[in-house]
């Protein structure tokens, strides 16, 4: 690493604020924590913007049909941030790059990650892992030294987080942070559902049940795939205006 451009905090423990879940279903607690420097194939990110995904709420409620969460844990997985420092062997990004953390890993090497038919990495396997994917340890500590666990390989409800390089995508610095943040999960899920899973074809008629963030992203994915008719269905009448606004914006972009 070029020491002249290196972050003054590189290689050092950072103290910052984080929203911590200690008891499922109870309010998160804002506390000061310590974030360790990244190890090999890891980067430390300064979180610039994060949003609340329904999956965070579901795990926070700790439903019995979900993997049991080790506590305490830092939730959040839909975010955008800037690279503060990088660990050994990281070549894909550098300090000050704007990046999206993504919970679904992509090693870029295995057969499945290279395939257009799958996005489930076979190198690291499936299943919920509460901490870093390579060594199973945490980069978060309470000030007294006790471990705080990661969530979905991201943990964005903190000012700084450490993420494996397989869970990061570099993006253009010109995109507004509030929009970029949604690309990390909700928008990519919806667009991918239309583009990759359903395989919407030119001239198709598409019906979408539920016009939340993911549903609207499905509509955009269907539009990009040139569906001839897109029907949105929702029991909330307020979603009609939101859907119409999104449709108008998309039409304006297409005309350009």
152: left (phi over 0), alpha (psi -120 to 50) or beta: left
In a domain, 216, yes or no: yes
- Run of H or E including 189: helix 186-192
Does residue 151 sit within a domain?
Answer: yes
Report residue 68 as tokens.
Answer: 């049991």
Instruction: Count H helices and E strands in the chain, helices first.
Output: 6, 11
Q: Report the alpha-carbon distance of residue 109 to residue 107 in Å, rounded.
A: 5
- Cα distance between residue 57 and residue 76, in whole Å: 10
Mean pLDDT for each consecutive 10-residue tract of the chain (256 residues)?
Answer: 62 96 93 97 97 89 70 95 97 96 88 82 76 93 96 95 96 90 90 90 94 90 92 87 69 55
37 domain residue, yes or no: yes
Q: Which of 183, 210, 227 is the last residue of a domain?
A: 183
| CATH classification of the domain holding 242 | 3.40.50.720
Residue 4: predicted pLDDT: 43
Tokens in use for 245? 């606004």
143 with 22, same domain?
yes
47 and 166 assigned to the same domain: yes
The pTM for the full model equals: 0.86
Same domain, 207 and 194: yes
Q: What is the CATH number of the domain that holds 118?
A: 3.90.180.10
**Assigned domain for 52 exists:** yes
- Which pLDDT belongs to residue 255? 56
> Under a CB-based contact definition with an 8 Å cutoff, are residues 74 and 47 in contact?
no
Alpha-carbon distance 138 to 69, whole Å? 14
Q: Are residues 66 and 46 in the same domain?
A: yes
Q: Say yes or no: 92 and 219 in one domain.
A: no
Q: 9 in a domain, yes or no?
A: no
Considering 130, 162, 183, which residue would you say is the last residue of a domain?
A: 183
Same structural domain, 117 and 85: yes
Q: Please indicate, yes or no, whether residues 138 and 172 belong to a single structural domain of this protein.
A: yes
Q: Using an 8 Å Cβ cutoff, are 75 and 136 in contact? A: no
Q: For residue 223, count CB atoms less than 10 angstroms from its CB and return exposed for 0-12, middle for 13-18, buried for 19 or more.
A: buried
Element (H, E) at 71: none
The tens digit of pLDDT for each residue in 43-75 reads 999 999 999 988 898 888 875 555 678 899 999
Identify the domain containing residue 86 by its residue range. 14-183
How many domains is the chain partitioned into structurally?
2
pLDDT at res. 58: 87
Residues 159 and 32 in one domain: yes
Please report whether residue 205 resides in a domain: yes
Residue with tokens 């990759």: 196
Residues 230 and 155 in one domain: no
244 and 192 in a common domain: yes
42 within some domain: yes
Query: For 121-153, what is each residue's pLDDT tens digit?
Result: 888 776 667 899 899 999 999 999 999 999 999
Query: Is 65 a member of any domain?
Result: yes
State the Cα–Cα distance between residues 69 and 188, nearest whole angstrom: 25
* Whole-number pLDDT of residue 123: 83
The answer to whether 62 and 76 are in contact (CB under 8 A) is no
Helical packing angle, 213-224 and 238-255, nearest 10°? 30
Query: Hunting for tokens 């009448």 — which residue is that?
Result: 237
pLDDT of residue 235: 92
Are 63 and 123 found together in one domain?
Answer: yes
* Domain end call among 183, 210, 244: 183
Query: Tell me, what's the pLDDT at 1?
Result: 43
User: Do residue 94 and residue 124 come from a single domain?
Assistant: yes
């Amino acid at each position: 690493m070029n020491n002249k451009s290196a972050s003054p905090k590189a290689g050092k423990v950072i103290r910052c604020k984080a929203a911590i879940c200690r008891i499922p279903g109870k309010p998160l607690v804002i506390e000061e924590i310590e974030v360790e420097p990244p190890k090999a194939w890891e980067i430390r990110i300064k979180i610039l913007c994060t949003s609340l995904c329904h999956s965070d709420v579901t795990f926070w409620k700790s439903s019995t049909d979900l993997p049991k969460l080790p506590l305490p844990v830092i939730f959040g997985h839909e975010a955008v941030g800037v690279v503060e420092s990088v660990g050994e062997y990281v070549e894909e990004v550098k300090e000050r790059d704007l990046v999206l953390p993504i919970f679904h890993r992509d090693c870029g090497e295995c057969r499945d990650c290279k395939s257009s038919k799958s996005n489930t990495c076979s190198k690291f396997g499936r299943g919920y892992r509460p901490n870093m994917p390579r060594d199973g340890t945490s980069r978060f500590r309470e000030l007294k030294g006790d471990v705080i666990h990661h969530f979905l390989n991201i943990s964005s409800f903190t000012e700084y987080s450490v993420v494996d390089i397989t869970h990061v995508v570099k993006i253009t610095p010109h995109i507004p942070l509030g929009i970029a943040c949604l690309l990390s999960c909700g928008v990519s899920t919806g667009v991918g559902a239309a583009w990759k899973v359903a395989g919407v074809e030119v001239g198709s008629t598409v019906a979408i049940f539920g016009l939340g963030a993911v549903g609207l992203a499905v509509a955009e994915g269907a539009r990009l795939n040139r569906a001839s008719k897109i029907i949105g269905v929702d029991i909330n009448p307020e979603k009609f205006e939101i859907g119409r606004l999104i449709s108008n914006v998309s039409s304006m972009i297409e005309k350009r």
